[in-house]
Structure 1
């Protein structure tokens, strides 16, 4: 007896010369979503987009201002946000142009590949924000041409990475992701949230040396607000870093080097 698996539907569609888009859209995914911002003109450069926030992260950055997406005890309850998210995309066809997928860390979600495929099947461009801890997932996403823009956080200089991530970090995986992104042919940027007390001016010279030749690198102003580490105010108290000075000291290493202020 011929047995047909559910995941054979795309192959069947191909053999019958049927469009595959409907199969992609109907294929069920199980993403943990903490919420989505219906409209952003900032998160996805040059694109009118929606930003979706995934739950769970492979880091515990003390200065992270989204603990509800990182700390398991603060995760939102299981909900129908994924269904609502796709309903929103369906309703906004012709008005929205893209989706920014951020977190948390999207690449640790088991269904991230199929999730992106569903978005792409609807005709949207995709920007992926990542911390680079899953180069294996990034490799597949790049190889299958599933993203139109990648933004990767550079947390610290290589030898001090764990200071910024709050966990012992496999820097080899981070470096692998950096190289892969730079060689991908996909538009990208690297960015670092500049945190007084966590970073020094010298750290950025080391970062610039590490990712020298990158197309775009941004220094992001730290926001003093609710953080994973409740003692961050003590860590940053009385300390400042001059972002303009740092920018001038490293900008020759990149095609674009900019500052993103906290407005």
Structure 2
């Protein structure tokens, strides 16, 4: 497996944790607001980060770190992801996985083998045709629904999160997502960032006003245990 990025210390990638973050190449989505443009479109343009370097850093700093975040791109595209997570788990550190939920078979395997301690799954849109429109590819909604169900029933910590993009998602769309996730542990509303988007047309788009984001968070708090807002609002 080619690792294309490694951040030695982050306070932002896992709430309440000091972590190092690993980035894997490629994604099966083409979300127009994605800000990891080159990771998605040009994964071969990155130099490889040697796993040995990462293992050495972890070994020297595991008393300082709480865990490792594995992100992308979409990590579950890689068949050897379990091997990477096993190596991390052997260090004694916790693992957080970022995913779009398109590979429930992989998620089920990782959960059953105790290879993940926290899963953050992006929920792009309401569970209807709009999902494929926003993802930029045809999405099998049954896989998204199954991933949500697996994560909720897993017994491990998790969050679902949605990037709130004007034009693409209306307030009613977000309320529909909130309704579909009712009873979940945690939901994060992420403010849209117009910088360096996969679709250049979105670079001129103004994010939703803070009042709208706050009102949506208030609605989510009625049915979801923990609700958080990320980004500038």
Correspondence list, 1:139-218, <5 A: 139-159=108-128, 160-218=130-188
Unaligned runs of 5+ residues in structure 2 are none
Q: What is the match of residue 200 of structure 2?
A: 230
Pick from 100, 110, 133 the counterpart of residue 69 of structure 2: 100
Conserved 8 A contact 2:5-2:49: no
1:237, 1:79 → 2: CA distance? 35
Question: In structure 2, do the counterparts of structure 1 residues 119 and 212 end up closer, same or farther at CA, with 3 Å as the change threshold?
Answer: same
1:150, 1:238 → 2: CA distance? 26
**TM-score w.r.t. length of structure 2:** 0.93
Pick from 45, 60, 82 the counterpart of residue 15 of structure 2: 45
Deviation at 1:33, TM superposition (A): 1.5
Pick from 96, 106, 111 the counterpart of residue 137 of structure 1: 106
Question: In structure 2, do the counterparts of structure 1 residues 91 and 224 end up closer, same or farther at CA, with 3 Å as the change threshold?
Answer: same
Question: In structure 2, do the counterparts of structure 1 residues 238 and 254 end up closer, same or farther at CA, with 3 Å as the change threshold?
Answer: closer
Correspondence list, 1:102-117, <5 A: 102-117=71-86
1:259, 1:96 → 2: CA distance? 24
Deviation at 1:258, TM superposition (A): 1.8
Give the SS at the match of 2:163.
Answer: strand
Q: What is the match of residue 26 of structure 1?
A: none
Residues 14-65 of structure 1 show CA distances to partners (whole Å, capped at 9, x for unaligned) of: xxxxxxxxxxxxxxxxx22221110012212222210111111111110000
Give the SS at the match of 2:4.
Answer: strand
1:177, 1:214 → 2: CA distance? 13
Residues 55-89 of structure 1 show CA distances to partners (whole Å, capped at 9, x for unaligned) of: 11111110000011111x35334524323222211
Residues 93-148 of structure 1 show CA distances to partners (whole Å, capped at 9, x for unaligned) of: 22212101111011111210010000000111101111000000000000011111
Correspondence list, 1:248-263, <5 A: 248-262=218-232
2:160, 2:208 → 1: CA distance? 24
Larger-gyration structure (1/2) = 1
Conserved 8 A contact 2:192-2:207: no
1:238, 1:47 → 2: CA distance? 28
Question: In structure 2, do the counterparts of structure 1 residues 74 and 249 end up closer, same or farther at CA, with 3 Å as the change threshold?
Answer: same
Conserved 8 A contact 2:163-2:189: yes
Flag as ranges the 4+ runs of structure 1 deviating above 4 A.
Answer: 237-241
1:135, 1:238 → 2: CA distance? 31
Number of residue pairs aligned between Structure 1 and Structure 2: 231
| Structure 2 residue 29 is the aligned partner of structure 1 residue 66 | no
Question: In structure 2, do the counterparts of structure 1 residues 96 and 206 end up closer, same or farther at CA, with 3 Å as the change threshold?
Answer: same
